[in-house]
Structure 1
Amino acid sequence: MNTQEFHDELKAGGFEPAVAIDRPVGYAMGEHQHPFDACPFVTAGDITLVVDGVSSRYGVGEVFRLPAGTPHLEAAGPQGVSYLSGRRPVTQA
């Protein structure tokens, strides 16, 4: 996937425009969750997420999705990580 395809996918999926996020070498965040659906696209380095005890690494050109409320841990790879992150607000019924 390239950047334009990513932006097109966000728009089609009802996500807000992507914001650029950079995390340095050594970045790690303990278990947390977001009040929005997240759809990041890795542009440099890599990031590892742990969801339900399962560790997954995402590198350049890869997209991952996290539904709102999903508890997870995250850590930047040995070169840090940069990504574009689309967010989709969760509507309350």
Structure 2
Amino acid sequence: MTPDVNTFKSVALAEGFDEVLERVWAPDTVLDTHTHPFAAKALVVQGEMWLTVGDTTQHLVPGDLFELEHGEPHSERYGAEGATYWVARLNT
């Protein structure tokens, strides 16, 4: 069962993350390989996406969780309906 955003946020903050945001992506958005200046833990809540880290691609749908380390190179592709996820960030 997917938690509500307030539960996700309170758990993430208790785990030491700095902030929690909702990210909404437009249909068919593609982000080439990039990095972030933060670690991330995210829960997909709507739509679908494909996350590629190294040679591994994950197909993520509502209820799926993913994590990225600070500075970890990755690419993202969003489905025909776009996607929404809640993301906890640990800024470093």
CA distance in 2, matches of 1:58, 1:8: 23
In structure 1, the gaps of 5 or more residues are none
CA deviation map 1:50-84 (0-9, x unaligned): 10111001111221100001100101112110111
Within the alignment, does 1:20 sit opposite 2:47 as a pair? Answer: no
Q: Find the partner of 1:51 among 45, 50, 53.
A: 53
Deviates more, 1:65-74 or 1:10-19: 10-19
CA RMSD, 1 decimal:
1.3
Q: Which consecutive segments of 4 or more residues in structure 1 shift more than 3 A?
A: none
TM-score, normalising length from structure 1?
Answer: 0.87
Residue identity matched to 2:8: F
CA distance in 1, matches of 2:49, 2:60: 5
TM-score, normalising length from structure 2?
Answer: 0.88
The structure in which a higher percent of residues are strand is: 2
In structure 2, the gaps of 5 or more residues are none
CA distance in 2, matches of 1:16, 1:46: 26
